Amino acid sequence: MSNRNAEFEFHQHAKNVDRRVRQIEAVDFFNLLTGPALLEMTDSYLPEHRERLYPPTVTLSMFMMQALNEDGSCQKAVAGWAAQRTAEGLGVKSVNTGAYCKSRQRLPVEMVSALTRHTAQLLSGHALAGWRWHGRPVKLVDGTGISMPDTPENQARYPQPTTQAPGVGFPLARLVGVICLSTGALIDAAIGPHAGKATGELGLLRRLESAFLPGDVMLADALYCSFFLIATLQRAGVDVLFAQQGSRITDFRRGEKLGARDHRVSWPKPNVRPDWMRPQDYVAFPAQLTLREVQVGGKILVTTMLEPREVNKAELSDLYAMRWSAELDLRNIKTTLGMDILSCNTPQMNEKEAWVHLLAYNLIRLLMAQAAMNAAVHPRQLSFKHTVQMWTAWVSRRLCSNRNGDIAVLFTLIAQVRVGNRPGRIEPRARKRRPKSYPWLKVPRAQARARVAVHGHP
């Protein structure tokens, strides 16, 4: 009798989960992109197209699956599409990648980037109150570098570092992202050259001011601890928490004492106007800012949350420790999804490929949020890589329909693998396994091939 009761409770739970899943209507890529919430936006960005083997929504779905698979080649994507059409009883004339590559080129990058932002807004906006910090949305900001193939077009748009010899290095782009702390969703991003005027992380962040709303909290490292950035965000109703820049001296004997190593202090406006700022904008900034500086764990933090009764030192320390989530999220995007090295030969396609990776990342975060909601846990407790592995396995076996509670099972399995809770973990940034002893390529590849043709391999 007890076994029957347990079986009945399991089926009832499965029905409840399936009912909630059906209400979300955001299960697989196609349903998300053509669902009520995004259908109008998707259609507005689609170019005029005739019926093809690879219509835009199919092309985008295949493009995202490339981002999620370890073998992200176009040939693998086309082979999978051919197998799916065969399983559906449709004809397959060729597995040549030419038509699919042309379809990828026709996809508007504006559509992919808009979908990325909109999915993040849907996810972040529906985050449970218990997932937020003091009930407030916290947005992480961090930057990273992205490499790409060494082609003349890529070099012209994203020059290689000046420390690398011509013909030996690789084009390098910089990406700055705004990430929701509660759900891990990437809210917005800016991409630019790794070097040059207004291409630093602060310069790219200025393009993303619309990602911050009144009541938000911005969390970032010491690089972003700038008078003008803090003043801009404070004017928009956004609080900040940064680490103090090493060039600024903090003296806790000055200012208004709030506690041990905790005070309010005034920062005067810099006397020198930055090159990127217009004179009228410089004049509009206040003459000084009132900020709070606290020292916790040997680190000085700067914040606009001035009242210790509302937010004490320990809470600020715990919140700043969560800044490491931005590093982990960028690692998931670059390493797990393979975006650290883009594969296209033109900057336009590389930018599109980057946005497709970010959209695929947000859709995985969507699955994680639903699984966390069903399991009554925080999304940050679930494994991103495990979710990618489960989803790609599910899709490859065509289990992505709602029938028979398949999706309810998927969410249950996603929630079973939790990430380790290892506070204060320290690991050396070094490799134990030695690489193969090949010499570095220090001349252009064509020149090296010519030498090998004449003299053979050394």
**Tens-place pLDDT, residues 9-44:** 434 544 443 443 333 333 344 344 445 555 556 666
Name the average pLDDT for the chain.
86
Q: Report yes or no on 74 lying in a domain.
A: yes
Domain's final residue, options 297, 320, 343: 320
Which run of H or E residues covers position 240? strand 239-243
Q: How many helices (H) and strands (E) does the chain have?
A: 17, 9
Q: Tell me the three-class secondary structure of 378-428, residue by residue.
A: CHHHECHHHHHHHHHHHHHCCCCCCHHHHHHHHHHHHCCCECCCCCCCCCC
Domain identity same for 408 and 311? no
Does some domain include residue 268? yes
> Does 185 reside within a domain?
no
Residue 190: inside a domain, yes or no?
Answer: no
Question: Do 299 and 390 lie in a common domain?
Answer: no
> Does residue 445 fall inside a structural domain?
no
Residue type, 10: F
Same domain, 36 and 105: yes
**Position 26: which residue type?**
A
If asked whether residues 60 and 6 sit together in one domain, one would say yes
pLDDT of residue 5: 53
Span 68-96, pLDDT tens digits? 988 889 999 999 888 888 877 887 888 89
Question: Who contacts 231 (Cβ-Cβ below 8 Å, separation ≥6)?
Answer: 285, 286, 289
Task: Quote the number of domains for the chain.
Answer: 2
Domain shared by 227 and 306, yes or no: yes
Identify whether residues 311 and 357 lie together within a single domain. no
CA distance 378 to 458: 56
Give yes or no: residues 276 and 369 share one domain: no
Q: What is the DSSP letter of 332?
A: I
Do 14 and 95 lie in a common domain?
A: yes
Q: Is residue 457 part of a domain?
A: no
* Residue ranges making up the domain that contains 371: 2-109+353-414
Looking at the structure, tell me whether residues 316 and 237 fall in a common domain: yes
The more confident residue out of 196 and 404 is 196
pLDDT category of residue 49 using cuts at 50, 70 and 90: low
Evaluate whether residue 246 is within a structural domain.
yes
Q: Does 431 fall in a domain?
A: no
- Average pLDDT, stretch 239-257? 93
Q: What is the pLDDT of residues 89-140, one digit of tens each?
A: 887 888 899 999 998 998 889 989 998 998 898 888 888 889 999 999 999 9
Task: Over range 163-184, report the average pLDDT.
Answer: 93
Confidence of residue 400 (pLDDT cuts 50, 70, 90): low
* 296 shares its domain with 376: no
Q: 182-202, pLDDT tens digit by residue?
A: 999 999 999 999 987 767 899
